[in-house]
Amino acid sequence: MSAEPAITPELVAKHGLTPDEYERIKTILKREPNFTELGIFSVMWSEHCSYKNSKNELRKFPTTGERVLVKAGEENAGVIDIGDGWAIAFKMESHNHPSAVEPFQGAATGVGGIIRDIFTMGARPVFSLNSLRFGPITGDGASVKTNRRLFAGVVAGISHYGNCIGIPTIGGEVYFDESYNGNPLVNVFNLGILKHEQIARGAAKGVGNPVFYVGAETGRDGLAGAAFASRDLTEESKEDRPAVQVGDPFREKLLLEACLELLATDAVAGIQDMGAAGLTCSTCETASRGGTGVEIDLAKVPQRETGMTPYETMLSESQERMLIIVKKGHEQTVVDIFEKWDLPYAEVGVVNDDGMMRVRDHGKIVVEIPARQLADEAPLYSREAKAKPTPPQLDLAKLPATDNHAALLALLSHPSIASKNWVYRQYDHTVRAGTMTLPGSDAAVFLVREANKILAATSDCNALYCSLDPRQGARIAIAEAARNLACSGATPVAVTDNLNFGNPHNPENFWQLRECVEGLAEGCNAFDTPVTGGNVSLYNQSPAGAIDPTPTVGMVGLIEEEKHVTTSYFKAPGDAILLIGGFGDELGASHFLTVVHGQKVGPVPALDFAKERAMHDGLRALIKSRLIKSAHDLSEGGLAVALAESSLTHPNPPAQPLGAVIELGDTGLRLDQLLFNETQGRVVISVKPTDVATVLMLLELRGIVAKKIGAVGGDLLKITVGGETLAWPLSELKSAWYDSIAHAMHA
């Protein structure tokens, strides 16, 4: 075995630690660290594990509420009460850097990791979502080809892992923008169901209790992945392939079932996923939570490669592994269950009372670090924040005339707005037989049969808004998520988030982070949706620059009865179409300006939380009264896109087309301004003709603006404004919308 390298300032810097941090390490240890200890500090004090640049900001989130059973930051995932003794655990995490280097395995292991976070809580995972961002996939050039490769690889990786393990991927979002060239975002969400008494904890409790390693053998894949995720992507990042893990969904399925079976016994004192930082995080974090110490011997750790050093074994992020603190005397229970499921297992250590994370290699001590100071006392920073210059603002008088017929087709065919069927047709979204709305509606809806509960979930963020006005963009992300749930008949209960930003040492990037966090916090307080946890992913930038700030919001809601489940597509010819929330006139920051006129200019639309929440409450009340047949929020592309989508998204189109005839009258607005503005707080609904007067009256009583604008029917989307009429055959709209991504990927 070769000698460990000497600890030099260059080696410390290569591990991502500053001179001050290294001095702090020496103070904690009261000596110089050895090479393995240096690696351990580098991953545990990386942004990915310690949130050292963001934790002070995250404290601004609301994390308590009457439904909160496990708060954000306490465990691997938060837990929310959904009534009748049942609860949900859900969380969102990123695998951005690994997916940029190796898209298939990067995305696949991201899915595997988030699933482990959920069943570590004692919950059975029941569905997944994802939020994906890539550079443009249309046009020519090397970057476009790279983006297509990344997009195809990521979708294939998500599909492979989710389909093989048998957990449906039932919704999400995909956006394409130049800011993600070279740095895609892969944010994955999973939700699990459990009873209150089944909540498992990740603490090493009980001095003398044995520590078991279970699951796949440790290899050299994923070495120091947490540190890799905490630095900028560069042209040399392809050399970091060893930092990308390799996943095995079939092994994870066995691990899931074995762990849930074990948790149903009285044998477990604590359980922890070996996620970022692998054995390192699972040992020191469980010890820190338990106020104890953990000692392990690496000679007992199952390994699939020979000659692994302590550094490699401790920093490996091989997948499908767990650390379990077993109640003394129950060792045979673990042995029996893991032999039944044909999984490796080994008793590798013991819980002690000295507060130390101690690692031996064939009996020789190779690591000895105070667990709490390693896991929970990384240095925290409040970086310099500097507001970005005010972006250019729209001058409507100088906006060129628009071919509005062509503009709608251009918007519908843009990959960010176009149908995502190319993506979700690769996912098994019906396994477990709980999916109640097929992908493409405003929110995913899932029936959890064992609990007899109907859940709705959505993922939202308009990064263009956040790039122009970070605080307002984040506020709108929360409002849109809540609006999507309301359109589906759901009441929001809680939020998870994934904060994707550039290098925090750049004052403008850190200002964006701070503004977005404060905007999200405002929104969560406005909708009574505590944050259950999530992920911060910084250093998202390529040599071309930082990504647009992307604070992705995952929101979950409850639907009381199956008859309240509402979808976005028109249901029957002759139904009346109503617009809730007014025509709007805010064209700034719109996809229309970006796609049709090539302008990314402000201002971002205004938002009134009180009016927004009142509209959601009114919408849910109408849904519960069985007065609404479809509901679809107005977001990217505005009114014209929402109407087209309501005509096109029927999963099983009826024999008779469901176009629409719209009469908007004389509004005094430019036609493009009317059709494509993205004013917030608006929804298109369809109702029976006989219910129009009742619906309008009930909304008026709540102070909500609403107007009948047309009727469902025909094979056209026909819009008349004043004396001007525009008409699009549904076949033309569908060709632009449904086939756009497939055409781009096969170009």
Catalytic site positions: 48, 95
Distance of CA 6 to the CA centre of its chain: 41
Beta bridge partners, 174, equal: 132
Cβ atoms of residues 39 and 369 within 8 Å: no
The pair of structure tokens assigned to 607 is 């938002």
How far apart (Å, rounded) are the C-alpha atoms in residues 187 and 209? 36
678 half-sphere exposure, CB direction, 13 A CA radius: 21
Helices (H), 546-648: 591-597, 609-624, 638-648
Burial class (CB in 10 A: 0-12, 13-18, 19+), 150: buried
**Cα Dmax for the chain:** 87
Q: Omega of the bond prior to 603 within 30 degrees of 0, cis?
A: yes
Pick from 97, 119, 99, 118: nearest CA to 107:
99
For 327-332, which contacts have Cβ atoms below 8 Å and span 24 or more sequence positions? 327/206, 327/209, 327/266, 327/267, 327/268, 327/269, 328/206, 328/208, 328/209, 328/210, 330/265, 330/266, 330/267, 331/210, 331/212
How far apart (Å, rounded) are the C-alpha atoms in residues 643 and 685? 10
The pair of structure tokens assigned to 366 is 């190779």
Distance of CA 631 to the CA centre of its chain: 24
β-bridge pairing 658-665 and 714-721: parallel
Cβ atoms of residues 47 and 536 within 8 Å: yes
β-bridge pairing 683-687 and 724-729: unpaired
Give whole-number Cα distances, 270 to 61, 70, 212, 263, in Å: 27, 15, 10, 9
The residues near 195 (Cβ < 8 Å, ≥ 6 apart) are 85, 86, 87
Q: What is the DSSP letter of 224?
A: T
Which residue do the tokens 């820190």 mark?
288
How far apart (Å, rounded) are the C-alpha atoms in residues 85 and 216? 34
